[in-house]
Amino acid sequence: MLYQFYETQRSMMEPFADLAEVASRLFTNPVLPFAQLPMAQRISAAYDLMHRLGKDYEKPEFNIRTVRVNGVEVPIHEQVEVDLPFCELRRFKRFTDDPATLTTLKSQPVVLVVAPLSGHYATLLRDTVRTLLQDHKVCITDWKNARLVPMSDGEFHLDDYVNYVQRFIRHLQGIYGNCHVMSVCQPTVPVLAAVSLMASRGEKLPLSMTMMGGPIDARKSPTAVNNLAMQRSFEWFENNVIYRVPDKFPGAGRRVYPGFLQHTGFVAMNPDRHAKSHYDYFQDLVKGDNDSVEAHRKFYDEYNAVLDMDADYYLETIRTVFQEFQLVHGTWHVKNEQGQAERVRPQDIRGIGLLTVEGELDDISGSGQTAAAHELCTGIPPTHSRHYEAKGAGHYGIFSGRRWREMVYPVVKSFIAEHERGQAAPAAKPARKTAAAKKAAAPRKATAPSPAAAPRARRTTAKA
């Protein structure tokens, strides 16, 4: 009933939010007498803030219209390459009539960006995509809001997520010959599983994997997010955060983890910071600081737009990643599209590059959680693996903003280019290792001072 109660309350508040927006404009319109009243600017700011606190935030657009490639402004056209019940593979196609630029575009690497399905839309990676488009062909997983997916489209499990990633990789390989995969936050785990299963079957693998700020091993440096998942029982999550979609939506009756509950959790992690941000927004409106006002609006238009997650997928992620640690224990079995269970064996991955990225101040995925991928992928030699820690960067800083563009992206770009030139060969199905071989392949002790250092990875850190 909580979901129905929330929707009823939101529907009742919507007219008042719209009225507050109109009132705010009345007190700033110079041709109306309201703008001449004392404290008109403060009254307008108060109504504006009321509107933003009460409005409904819909899915934002990527809004990437052009990108500069080698000094030439190149138009961007979005198109859906693959449309599955719970996800679209969205391509950002670049156009130009400049011969030299066209030659450059055709020769650039293909990158599949796997966006997180953890509450926010894929547009959260807008800056990631925009930056990558300067030097790469880019596609992204655009996950759908589960409340808009009819029950007739079936269920969505963590296994389905893994199978979706494999389908997208095969699709890009079929068009371009091969691709690189970048996963940000939550999808690092299913992406590693997807590539592991492809390797175990002897399928053609991506040329490289870039994993950024994800819970490969959530036991390391646990954060508040990790602790909540580990301290509460599976039954607690099922009984307290799972609800059915109300009748007004296409997905009526589907069991989901509602977006509004997720948003409440996001805000509860840093309530003081959000309160101060909104107070600063009010003050900037009064002062007429339009740049700061617009920056606030852009951030919260994205931050407040959330989607529902299918309950099966969410609960299985909690159990698999944060409670039983099945990936690092080697006990994870994934059902393929034929319904057969296959064991996830990261040690079977060979012939590709592995780059892990962490933020020094990440409070979502703690230090060492992403770097743990190197300990699992023992078939990738140190010459093809690398770990990078972005100094001064928090969770969002490793894929968005100045630190992403100036510190992290050059490392990612260089690593992808290195393995694009190498053109790794398809991985053959590896033979089982003998005891002696396993001992020889065991990771060496870390020599770097930070606990986030991967034992087998070549590590660099950015200067603050």
Q: Look-up: residue for tokens 């509450």?
A: 119
Q: Is the pLDDT of residue 245 over 70?
A: yes
Domains of the chain: 2-56+272-303 (no CATH), 66-237+309-426 (3.40.50.1820)
- Residue from 357, 454, 445 nearest 403 by CA: 357
pLDDT at 168: 98
- Rounded to an integer, the average pLDDT of 177-196 is 97
What strands, in cross-sheet order, belong to the sheet with 309-310? 243-244, 255-257, 309-310
Q: Look-up: residue for tokens 């870039």?
A: 210
Binning pLDDT at 50, 70 and 90, where does residue 424 land? very low
> How far are the Cα atoms of 10, 217, 349, 433, 440 from residue 436, in angstroms, in the given order?
63, 26, 19, 8, 6
Which of 105-109, 266-270, 335-339 shows the lowest per-residue confidence on average (mean pLDDT)? 266-270
CB-based contact 67:134 (threshold 8 Å): yes
- Residue from 166, 215, 174 nearest 195 by CA: 166
pLDDT at 156: 97
Binning pLDDT at 50, 70 and 90, where does residue 226 land? confident
Q: Is the pLDDT of residue 308 over 70?
A: yes
Binning pLDDT at 50, 70 and 90, where does residue 437 land? very low
Q: Is the pLDDT of residue 442 over 60?
A: no
Binning pLDDT at 50, 70 and 90, where does residue 423 land? low
| CA torsion through residues 393, 410, 300, 87, sign | negative
Binning pLDDT at 50, 70 and 90, where does residue 105 land? very high
pLDDT at 223: 86
CA angle 195, 199, 204 (to 5 degrees): 90
Q: How far apart are CA 368 and CA 356, in angstroms?
A: 10
pLDDT at 262: 87
Q: Is the pLDDT of residue 263 over 90?
A: no
pLDDT (tens digit per residue) in 143-177 = 999 999 999 999 999 999 999 999 999 999 999 99
Mean per-residue pLDDT of the chain: 89
Those residues with Cβ within 8 angstroms of residue 299's Cβ, 6 or more apart along the chain or in another chain: none
Q: Are strands 208-212 and 180-184 parallel, antiparallel or unpaired?
A: parallel
Please give the model's pTM, rounded to 2 decimal places.
Answer: 0.86
